[in-house]
């Protein structure tokens, strides 16, 4: 009888565990929205019993997944029009009329360098010179005599677009870069290269790298759904804009 009771108890526990997260939301996003989503994830799941799965794949890949129906939501650090333009540049047509977007926060781009680098601030002109390839040595901006390595995120169109529009004045960035994938990859590359610099979302900052004082670059962080958001996605949007605000670092 004891064995039967144990089996039944285990079965009840398994059934309860499965029922606790009977519904779920799968989100593909870039670094800025991922930071918000990871911050509220535990609190949202506890409050709603809706499981939140977060994939840091960048908004371009996420949009493709949304159109395929393999995820529920896209998170991006650029406007919907800018995201559609990025997709079009890659040969992917997106019908804006089929999408809805919701602002959930602010994306602020920051310039990161290695902690050993003595430089503490860069002007717009210096940033522009570095990212267009006209300034190639740290000594030209008050640093050590060493080459500048630009770490460029392939799946970070939000901060990349901010840099190009607000600092480079529409000019193309240099192609002489160390390619990374996500914002997290950019940060890790900078932490391991004393010559490195990169632009990533400010809310991914930690003590592994150094943040430079630079002119402000910001835009909205959005969630995008195909058609009207599902009831669970609506719960997530409302939670982030409401109770979730007390957990989010501004």
- pLDDT tens, position by position, 120-177: 999 999 999 999 999 999 999 999 999 999 999 998 888 898 999 899 998 999 999 9
166: how many CB neighbours lie within 10 A of its CB?
17
55-72 confidence digits (pLDDT tens):
999 999 999 999 999 999
10 confidence band (pLDDT: 50, 70, 90)? very low
Q: How far apart are CA 150 and CA 196, in angstroms?
A: 6
Please say whether the beta carbons of 128 and 171 come within 8 A.
yes
Domains and CATH numbers, the chain: 24-107+220-247 (3.40.190.10), 108-218 (3.40.190.10)
14-25 confidence digits (pLDDT tens):
333 333 344 799
All residues at 6 or more sequence positions from 173 whose CB lies less than 8 Å from its CB, including other chains: 131, 132, 133, 150, 152, 160, 163, 164
Identify the three-state secondary structure at position 170: coil
pLDDT of residue 196: 98
């Amino acid at each position: 009888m004891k064995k039967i009771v144990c089996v039944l108890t285990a079965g009840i526990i398994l059934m309860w565990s499965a029922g606790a997260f009977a519904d779920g939301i799968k989100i593909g996003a870039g670094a800025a929205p991922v930071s918000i989503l990871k911050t509220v994830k535990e609190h949202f799941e506890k409050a709603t019993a809706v499981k939140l799965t977060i994939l840091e794949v960048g908004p371009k890949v996420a949009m493709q997944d949304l159109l395929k129906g393999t995820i529920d939501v896209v998170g991006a650090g650029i406007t919907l029009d800018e995201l559609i333009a990025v997709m079009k540049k890659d040969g992917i047509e997106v019908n804006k009329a089929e999408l809805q977007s919701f602002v959930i926060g602010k994306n602020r781009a920051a310039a990161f360098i290695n902690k050993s680098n003595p430089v503490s601030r860069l002007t717009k002109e210096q940033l522009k010179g570095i990212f267009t390839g006209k300034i190639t040595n740290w000594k030209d901006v008050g640093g050590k005599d060493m080459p500048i390595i630009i770490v460029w995120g392939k799946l970070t169109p939000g901060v990349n677009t901010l840099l190009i529009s607000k600092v480079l004045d529409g000019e193309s960035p240099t192609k002489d870069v160390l390619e990374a994938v996500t914002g997290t990859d950019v940060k890790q590359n900078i932490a391991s290269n004393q010559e490195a610099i990169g632009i990533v979302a400010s809310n991914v900052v930690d003590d592994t790298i150094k943040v430079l004082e630079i002119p402000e670059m910001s835009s909205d962080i959005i969630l995008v759904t195909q058609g009207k958001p599902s009831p669970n996605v609506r719960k997530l949007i409302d939670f982030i804009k409401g109770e979730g605000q007390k957990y989010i670092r501004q």
